[in-house]
A and B are shown apart, each in its own frame.
Chain A
Amino acid sequence: MNTTFLKIELMRILRDPVTMFFTALLPVFFYIIFGASQDYSDLTAGNGNVAMYIMISMAGYGAVTATAGIGGMAAVERMQGWGRQLGLTPLGDGGFVAIKSAVALMICCIPIGLVYIAGLFTGAKGDSLQVWLLSLLILVVGAIMFALYGLIFGLAFRSEAAVSAASGSLVILAFLGNIFFPLSGALLTFAKFTPLYGYIALARYPLTEGFSVGTDGIVTEEALWIPVVNVVVWTLIFAALATWLVRRGRGRQ
């Protein structure tokens, strides 16, 4: 891996105050407002408490916002001529994707890390270390699929505004993904088909083991295969769309 290239790419993101606010601070703020500061935060939820449940949700929201932004910018940069400049170097498409993926992976650790640290100090409880670590690992690895989500927006609309749109649209998907408040009924059934649902449900699985409480107070249990199928199918859809858009872009060059 080209460490100089990687280091400069990381620095570009770290020194951009707007990006850092939305990817690093906003999720922490959300966690404190919707989680730590609420009365229900210390109620038991599976293998931990509600604060932990909301901590995982908000960390996931921050992580996908970060990776979608990086994926989208990668597409826009390449189409605005930086791709031609890199075409004059030995760095191929594979090398570029590897570096951007590494950047996405590292940057998404920032909101996850900050929210987890906030959780640690504000009463988020997990019964075992395994709940903490396993959920964290799923959050980091799963966030990569949303780099593809950002990439698709960048490839399709070819502008910085499209990248903002990608991050913005994640707010809606986060509602549908059962992140900001628990859904129930028909809306929950629909939510299970949306892309953020599977990712967050999987990340919370070490804590909930599939159990959840809706706004109506009814406890439901969900089989593990539902979020797994959701993630697999959406990853395939994103990958296919991104591949198709890259090919279309090549043809038009």
Chain B
Amino acid sequence: MIINSPIVRISRRTRPSSPTILTTRAVDHDIRHVWMMQLRPYCWRGVRHSVAGMNQPTAISLARVTKTFKTKDGNFSAVRGLDLEIQAGQIVALLGPNGAGKTTTIDMILGLTAPSTGKASVYGSDPRAAVHAGRVSAVLQTGGLLRDLTVRETIQMVASTFASHSGVEHVMERAGLMDLARRKVSKCSGGEQQRLRFALALLPDPDLLILDEPTAGMDVGARREFWKTMQVEAAAGRTIIFATHYLEEADAFAQRIVLMARGNIVADGSTEEIRAQASGRTVTATVEADALDEVVASLESMAEVNNVSTDGQRVTVASTDSDAVARRLLTDLGGRDLEITTGSLESAFVSITGDQVDSDSSTGNDSEAVA
């Protein structure tokens, strides 16, 4: 029986809870197949990960980048001294509430706007040069199409600006637009227009694809279709960066989440790390009823423990080091039926961006106004 590498990768990368079972039970082909179906997002995530090693070149580098706009009420800083490096082959979500500076950051990566200070480079060169060379392309937020053109004309027009492109028919096929070629853009639904933008982005056959709120305005079906298409692109080895405020999308699709709030990065890591960073892990175990008070006192004396609560014989411990707590519970304290869980990404999101508001409330207000 052959275990191919993506599956091995999955077992290493996925969450500590359920998918871990895969390592021990992957022997059975049928069970493995079932897992593959259920863990679809994770399995190609694994595929990508095997390509994206540590020695990949840098796709994007932003160094102490700021962007300040002049408004009627004075200057507004959309991005405030942001540092970001993204390796080729990664799939990264830029997650954050409206007004966090996601679109401005993307505009700087694409050379649509120049940073006020700091330096942005894409594949080691100026962003404009990378766009000209067709190395980077993007699906931008709503707007940006001429309503009186047909789908095919729009693609032909944009294709004509590139010295070489991957072919009008080819990108229409990839984006599933073959049946819509003669339809006017004004008669296309939101999802169809988004597929057209995606086809335009594929024209230069870019190494780096940036998606700004790609599924905004799509219904559930169109959204699922869109991500399915995107998974194929990712599997083909493109670096993909997408901005979103949908947690589920970031969670299901990204290898790495860059969480932004008020023009800067507030957290950066895998979805698991973001969760852990915000809420820590929670350890739950059953202990002997007569030892309960002693156990609680012992746990509360540990430096890593934030909070201990009980429900009958069940003890729940929130801590920054779940391993240490688990070890203590299983050895010294006689715990049974031990469980380690991670808080939801949503609570992480709220706790990380929320904390920032409290410690930085003076600048919090003006970003709200612009959002």
Contacts and interface: CB of A to CB of B under 8 A. Distances in A.
Q: Are these two chains actual partners, yes or no?
A: yes
A216 interface: no
Interface string A1-34: 0111100100110001000000000000000000
Contacts of B138: 88
A89 B144 contact: no
Given A89-B158, A89-B161, A84 B145 contact: no
Contact of B157 (A8, A88, A251): A8
A90 B132 contact: yes
Contacts of A91: 161
Contacts of B158: 85-86, 89
B148 interface: yes
A99 to B, nearest CB: 10
Given A12-B149, A81-B143, A86 B161 contact: yes
Interface in B153-168: 153, 156-163
A88 B160 contact: no
A90 B131 CA distance: 7
Contacts of B254: none
B70 interface: yes
Contacts of B197: 85
Contact of B112 (A11, A87, A95, A252): A87
A89 B138 CA distance: 10
Nearest to A6: B160
Contact of A90 (B70, B110, B144, B163): B163
Nearest to B156: A4
A190 interface: no
B111 interface: yes
A16 to B, nearest CB: 7
B200 A85 contact: yes
B140 interface: yes
Given A81-B143, A87-B111, A253-B113, A4 B149 contact: no
Given A88-B201, A90-B132, A252-B69, A5 B148 contact: no
A251 B153 contact: no
Contact of B137 (A11, A80, A88): A88
Given A8-B153, A12-B148, A252-B69, A84 B140 contact: yes
A86 B146 CA distance: 11
A77 interface: yes
Contacts of A181: none
Contacts of B112: 84, 87-88, 253
Contact of A4 (B134, B145, B160): B160
Interface residues of A, number: 24
Contacts of A8: 149, 153, 156-157
A89 B131 contact: yes
A16 B110 CA distance: 34
A81 B140 contact: yes
Chain A contact residues: helix, strand, loop or mixed: helix
B125 to A, nearest CB: 14
Nearest to B146: A82
B162 A90 contact: yes
Contacts of A80: 143-144
A87 B137 CA distance: 10
A93 to B, nearest CB: 12
A87 B143 CA distance: 13
A249 to B, nearest CB: 12
Nearest to B153: A8
Residue of B146, B148, B163 contacting most chain A CB atoms (<10 Å): B146
A134 B200 CA distance: 45
Interface string A152-178: 000000000000000000000000000
Interface string B144-188: 111011000100111111110000000000000000000000000
Given A5-B157, A81-B143, A82-B146, A88 B162 contact: no
Interface in B122-145: 131-132, 134, 137-138, 140, 142-145
Contacts of A82: 144-146
Contacts of A87: 110-112, 131
A16 B201 CA distance: 28
A251 B70 contact: yes
Contacts of B144: 80-82, 84-85
Given A12-B148, A88-B201, A4 B140 contact: no
B309 to A, nearest CB: 51
Residue of B113, B138, B148, B157 contacting most chain A CB atoms (<10 Å): B157
A88 B201 CA distance: 8
A86 B128 CA distance: 12
27 contacts: A2-B161, A4-B157, A5-B157, A8-B149, A8-B156, A11-B153, A77-B146, A80-B143, A80-B144, A81-B140, A84-B112, A84-B143, A85-B140, A85-B158, A86-B161, A87-B110, A88-B110, A88-B131, A88-B200, A88-B201, A89-B131, A90-B131, A90-B132, A90-B162, A251-B70, A252-B70, A253-B107
Interface of B: 69-70, 107, 110-113, 131-132, 134, 137-138, 140, 142-146, 148-149, 153, 156-163, 197, 200-201
Interface of A: 2-5, 8, 11-12, 16, 77, 80-82, 84-91, 95, 251-253
Query: Which 7 A-B residue pairings sit nearest by Cβ, starting from the closest?
Result: A81-B143, A81-B144, A4-B160, A89-B161, A91-B161, A85-B144, A90-B132
Given A8-B156, A90-B163, 10 more contacts: A2-B160, A4-B160, A77-B146, A80-B144, A82-B145, A88-B140, A88-B201, A90-B162, A251-B70, A252-B70
